[in-house]
Structures are given as C-alpha cells and as structure tokens.
Structure 1
Amino acid sequence: MQRMDRNALAARVARDIPEGAYVNLGIGAPTMVANFLPKDKDIFLQSENGLLGMGSAPAPENIDWELINAGKQPVTILPGGSYFHHGDSFAMMRGGHIDICVLGAFQVSIHGDLANWHTGTPEAIPAVGGAMDLAIGARDVFVMMDLLTKSGESKLVRHCTYPLTGLACVSRVYTDVAVFIVGPDGASVIEMVDGMTLDTLRTLTDLELVQA
C-alpha cells in the first residue's frame, strides 16, 4: 500500500480548490498547498496576519523576512496583493468572506466536528490561533492530516475526545491514504491510494464507512 507524502497530499488538496476562491491555509502542512496551486488560475490566498494575494514559498535567495505568513514562514506576494491590519483580517475570516480554509487536525468526527487546538493532556501546549474563527467563518473547511497517529489510532473518529474547535464545520478530510466526505450522514470515502481497500479503511478507523 502506498501512502501520500506531505507534498503529494498538498497537491491533492490543491486540485479541489476552484478558480476564483478566497482561501486561508492553516499553519503547518496546509501552507504547502500554496506551492501546488495552478499558475493559470486566479486563486486568492489570505493569511490571518493581514495578507491577501499570497504566493508560493520563495527561493532561498529571494527570502524577505518582512514578508511572512501566520506561521512566520517566508512567502511571496502576487501582483495586486495587499497588506492590512490584523483586525481587518479576522473580520474577513469571521464575516464569511473566505470560501475555503485548509487546516490540520488532531481529530475529525464523521459528522464534521473539528478538534485541532489542544489534545487535553497536561504537558501539551494549546494553540488556538485563528482556527476557531475559520471553522465558523469559512464556507468550506478542508482538513489535511495523516489518518493514523504515531501509535496507530485513527484521527477520523465517531466522536471527538479532544477539546473541540468547531461543531459540524468540516466538509472534507484529506489523509495520506484516502479522501473522505464528512457531514450529517456520516463519513464516506471518495478516493483511496493504490492498494487500499474499503475493508482495510474500516479496520483502521473502526468506522462503518461507505464509498461515495
């Protein structure tokens, strides 16, 4: 069975972002999606620190440390891009002006509940950021994550056991072995990597998954 690495997974997410969309990419692996968006389509990336029109990562010789995303990574800005106040950026996120956000997660429930800011363990460092604002404000929330934890537990679950970021907010889950739709009717599988089967996914997740 093959597994998608982070680059392949980011490229897969990028395929589902339509032209004309206003998109926020969460801190961490989701920022890699910017590197795989087609150059011939107008897709507008917004960063919560106050940037609209963000491009892909710069070449090492072109890094400008005054031009960064919310994760403090160097980025580029496309022609026509703009900078604005942090408060205005959150107003854009909360006001329903983001079409799609791509976030990482600790857990996603089959009904689209999201847990991505804290595992609840005493030694864990909570990191809320703007995820709660995006979860309620974006029209579609895509999650990009490995299906299993390092200890082999499924991150796609019946009910989240970690502190929630948002309820019934996630529409799609992109993992290293399959892509899922989640929502009121539960989870369905729309795509699997070579060598993966629906029965294997059911075993890995302990869920009654169906093929879309």
Structure 2
Amino acid sequence: MTAHAPRRRLSRIIHGSPAVISSTRQIPQLLPRELYEAHLTGLFTSRPETIRLFASLTMARTHPGVATRADAAENLGLPADLGRRCAAAAASSQTASPMAVLSAVSAAARDLDRRDYRAPEGRVRALASSDAWFSTRARRYRPRTRTTTQPLALQWLWTHVAHAHPGTAPEASPTRARRFATTLTAEQQQALRQVLDEPTPPRNPETS
C-alpha cells in the first residue's frame, strides 16, 4: 500500500495541473539524457532509462483526456502496458515528494526544443525500407562497414536523435546498438544526424 501512495499523490497533483507542454507530439518517448541529468537525477533510484520514460509519460499525463499512464504511453506511440509497468517501477523507487517530481518534470518540459518528435520517428521508419542512404555514408565515413550494420545505425538515430524507446526501434537490438554507438566518431554521428534532414529515399524493390 505504501509503495503506491506516492504515485497516487502525484496523479492527484497532475489532475489539477495545466499541461506542461502544448502538444504530446512535442514530447519524446524518452526525455533526452541531458535533461534527465539536469532535472531528475536523485529523485528516483530506478535506472535512468526508466525515469526518462516516466518523465515523458508524466508530461503526456498532464494533457486533458490522458487519464492514465497507459493512455500517456499510447499518446507517445508506445504500448499501454509499457506505461503501466514504468509507472509501477518509478513509484516504487521515488525518493522525492510528488510536488518535487512534478516541478522537475515541468522544468524539463520547458527545456525541450518544441519539435514534433513523431516526425523523426516516422523518418527513421521510412529509412528502414532503403539501404542506399546507409551504403553512401558508409563508403564515405566508415569504409569496410557491412550493410548488415544498417539496423544498428537506425537504432542509433531512433534513440539518440528521435529520443525514442529502444525497444520499439525498427529491427531493435538494444545490446548490439549500444556497442555500435560506442564506436561512432563525432563526424560519423553528424553524418547520421544529417540523414533525417534529407528527402525520404525510394523504397527497395523487395520491400515495396
């Protein structure tokens, strides 16, 4: 009973609070790591990835019509059950007061860049249907890289640029993707980021 009390109190505070951001499309599936570190470090004992998701769910939860964490997850393009499980994990590890948590989440929301996070998510999904963009960059920035590495590049874009949940990435392989991320130079990272600003590539014939 005690473990659920902080969650209930936070839910009551949220119910009477205005939305912390104007649209749920402006909320990433996971709060960017630098904003987590700036605003939420020390408020929970759960893993940072859990609290980054919880923060985004809380932002969505402040919107009218988003009544539960499951609703919040679906608004962000995530499975409803993931929202419920994340909320339970965060509630059991919360060390700060509900008001302190909401204040920290609100401050993090103010620091978001107000872009439409669903747009880069869609862009990464579209890139999964073509390998030309990856082959071109691999030849220039990472010679001898195999085309089988493309799913790892997609997951890097998914988690580091779109700030989306690693478990929902196209062809997700979180453990391999984390290893791949440690091998990217700053120049290679910038080359990958630029892919999302280019026109959508044509689909491979076999994926049409």
- For Structure 1 versus Structure 2, the TM-score category normalised by the shorter chain is under 0.3
Structure number with higher strand proportion = 1
Structure number with higher helix proportion = 2
Q: Which one scores higher on RCO, CA 8 angstroms, separation ≥ 6?
A: 2
TM-score by length of 1: 0.23
TM-score by length of 2: 0.24
